[in-house]
Amino acid sequence: EVQLVESGGGLVQPGRSLRLSCVASGFNFEDYAMHWVRQSPGKGLEWVSGISWNSRSIGYADSVKGRFTISRDNAKNSLYLQMNSLRGEDTALYYCAKDRNNGHGYFGSWGQGTLVTVSS
């Protein structure tokens, strides 16, 4: 069974940084692209970033480009999101999502999310 467990969320002041982690199990992590998707309270879904299996292909939403960095460690079955210069509009539940196939661009499995609150 695929399991994705996010951590690292919390309350942070505007302008500060936070690093999210996602530990994967139940599948060959190194075979799949991975993504971060966020959802503001009571709102819709927003794709944040995606990374290919070998980290050679990476993409970001314009809203986070230059501030967020996605990375992965296949030896640790882990996905990361380094978030710098955080803003109030980054407040959201951040989901780790497994690509349905490698680079397919659909989200076949999701974690339960980690909540990031940006506020002074």
Binding stretches for other proteins (CB under 8 A): 35, 44-47, 50, 59-62, 95, 100, 104-108, 110-113
Name the residue nearer to other proteins (CB basis): 96 or 118. Answer: 96
Can you name the residues that pair with 49 across neighbouring β-strands? 36, 60
Kindly tell me which of 9 and 75 has the beta carbon lying closer to other proteins. 9
Give min distance, CB of 17 to other proteins, in A: 23
Measured from the CB atom, the residue of 8 and 59 that comes closer to other proteins is 59
| Encoded tokens for 1 | 């069974």
Who's near 69: CB < 8 A, 6+ residues apart? Answer: 81, 82, 84
